[in-house]
């Protein structure tokens, strides 16, 4: 079938909107008509010189839409189902069988290559050349996407898919870091470095967890203001000459929990520095360089790398939807919609900090 998709052909170039020929689903796959897709910072990994796969690729991994067809082996998903798409996992490795699919042993090949493990794809361009269509097993910057039975979460048909789409990655990562990975306790203190979509989702998670003190550090005044609106008790300008001292003072000597959602090594080091002895620090952002720590920096502290909020999507995404329905997860305050054809504008708005979570509508 012919679909419309945003294709990244050059890591330094813009997206191109193209007509693509997409195969139908294989036995274990699902064809989804995309009605909304969030733009996540992880999509920029395709622009990195260290991207392990090959271009061209259709990015997008926060898709939501309506199932149009399923493969012969798919029994739990039906045409007409409304779904949120998320990361893929094998279902067979030790972590998957231990209900930790975010740590799947096959995650790299299933999510971050952009192509099937055997090098094949479901998509070809107008000139019959192949285009990667397996970014996070969905490639949902498109009118239609092929997903798998394991990265599809069925949701109620009355819910707004344009609001739910970001749950597939960024929101579940931020909230999950708080509720799953660190199990933040009521009455505790939480410091969050970076007020992008993941960091602000962590603020919402901190409110849900019952943290008494939530300190947010960010460079953008507008995002600091939004953090307060979402429940942060204090904010600190990231340009401050002594951020660590200020956060320690606001948390009465050090935070019980800290999160780095920037991926900037020196900021991650600051997040660990503000963590009290006996506390825990989570690295959620994809590090842009090596992290240099001496042993003393870790004395009495727990440092954990978080992947997808340590979530089991079929359980956690419904929990997030329930929190949103109860008014406790107002993710719509993070979203600005763009037509898919304006994807380059949406990307620049995100990179500049003007928009927290662009949502593309094909």
- In the structure, how many helices (H) and strands (E) does the chain have? 10, 17
- Which sequence spans correspond to the domains of the chain? 2-168+330-361, 171-307
* Global model pTM greater than 0.85: yes
Please state which architecture CATH assigns to domain 171-307.
3-Layer(aba) Sandwich (3.40)
2-168+330-361 and 171-307 have identical folds: no
The CATH architecture one would assign to domain 2-168+330-361 is Alpha-Beta Complex (3.90)
The yes-or-no verdict on residue 231 having pLDDT over 80 is yes
Arithmetic mean of pLDDT, 54-68: 97
- What pLDDT sits at residue 293? 87
What's the pLDDT score for residue 184?
A: 98
Spatial CA neighbour of 63 closest among 140, 3, 159: 140
Name the DSSP class of 147. E
- Measured in whole angstroms, the distance separating CA 27 from the mean position of its chain's CA atoms is 27
- 295 vs 254, more confident: 254
Q: Is the pLDDT of residue 285 over 80?
A: no
- Taking 90 as the threshold, does the pLDDT of residue 118 lie above it? no
Give me the mean pLDDT over the 226-250 stretch: 97
* 120 has a pLDDT exceeding 80: yes
- What mean pLDDT comes out for the span 150-173? 98
Rounded average pLDDT over 311-338: 98
Percentage of the chain modeled with pLDDT above 90? 93
**Comparing 118-122, 248-252, 286-290, 345-349, which segment has the lowest mean pLDDT?**
286-290
pLDDT at 333 over 80: yes
- Please compute the mean of the pLDDT values over residues 320-328 and round it to a whole number: 98
Starting at the edge strand found earlier in the chain, the sheet holding 255-260 runs: 234-237, 213-218, 189-193, 255-260, 275-283, 302-305
d(CA 17, CA 10): 13
Number of Cβ atoms within 10 Å of the Cβ of 326: 9
Give the sign of the dihedral formed by CA 60, CA 64, CA 65, CA 70.
positive
pLDDT per position as a tens digit, 5-38: 999 999 999 999 999 999 999 999 999 999 999 9
CA angle 39, 68, 155 (to 5 degrees): 60
Percent of all residues in the chain with a pLDDT value above 70, rounded to a whole number:
100
Pairing of strands 275-283, 302-305: parallel
Residue among 36, 316, 340 at smallest CA distance from 201: 316
- pLDDT interval class at 146 (50, 70, 90): very high
Residue 51's pLDDT band, with cuts at 50, 70 and 90, is: confident
């Amino acid at each position: 079938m012919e679909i419309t998709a945003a294709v990244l052909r050059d890591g330094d170039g813009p997206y191109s909107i193209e007509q693509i020929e997409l195969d139908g689903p294989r036995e274990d796959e699902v064809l989804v008509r995309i009605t909304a897709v969030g733009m996540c910072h992880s999509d920029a990994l395709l622009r990195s010189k260290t991207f392990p796969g090959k271009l061209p690729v259709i990015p997008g991994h926060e898709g939501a839409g309506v199932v149009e067809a399923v493969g012969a082996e798919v029994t739990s998903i039906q045409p007409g189902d409304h779904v949120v798409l998320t990361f893929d996992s094998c279902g067979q490795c030790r972590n998957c069988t231990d209900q930790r699919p975010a740590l799947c042993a096959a995650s790299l090949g299933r999510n971050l290559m952009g192509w099937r493990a055997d090098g094949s794809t479901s998509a070809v361009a107008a000139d019959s050349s192949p285009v990667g269509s397996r970014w996070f097993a969905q490639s949902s910057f498109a009118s239609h996407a092929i997903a798998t039975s394991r990265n599809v979460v069925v949701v109620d048909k009355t819910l707004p898919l344009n609001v739910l789409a970001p749950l597939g990655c960024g929101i579940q990562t931020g909230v999950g870091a708080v509720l799953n990975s660190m199990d933040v306790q009521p009455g505790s203190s939480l410091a969050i470095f970076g007020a992008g979509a993941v960091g602000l989702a962590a603020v919402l998670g901190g409110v849900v967890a019952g943290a008494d003190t939530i300190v947010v550090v960010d460079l953008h005044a507008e995002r600091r203001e939004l953090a307060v609106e979402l429940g942060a008790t204090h904010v600190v300008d990231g340009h401050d000459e002594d951020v660590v001292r200020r956060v320690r003072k606001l948390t009465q000597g050090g935070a019980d929990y800290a999160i780095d959602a920037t991926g900037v090594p020196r900021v991650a080091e600051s997040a660990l520095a503000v963590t009290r002895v006996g506390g825990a620090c989570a690295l959620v952002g994809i590090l842009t360089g090596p992290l240099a720590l001496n042993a003393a920096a870790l004395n009495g502290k727990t440092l954990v790398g978080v992947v997808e909020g340590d979530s089991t999507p079929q359980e956690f995404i419904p929990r997030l939807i329930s929190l949103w329905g109860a008014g406790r997860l107002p993710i719509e305050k993070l979203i600005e919609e763009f037509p898919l054809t304006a994807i380059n504008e949406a990307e620049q708005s995100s990179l500049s900090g003007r928009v927290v979570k662009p949502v593309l509508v094909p």
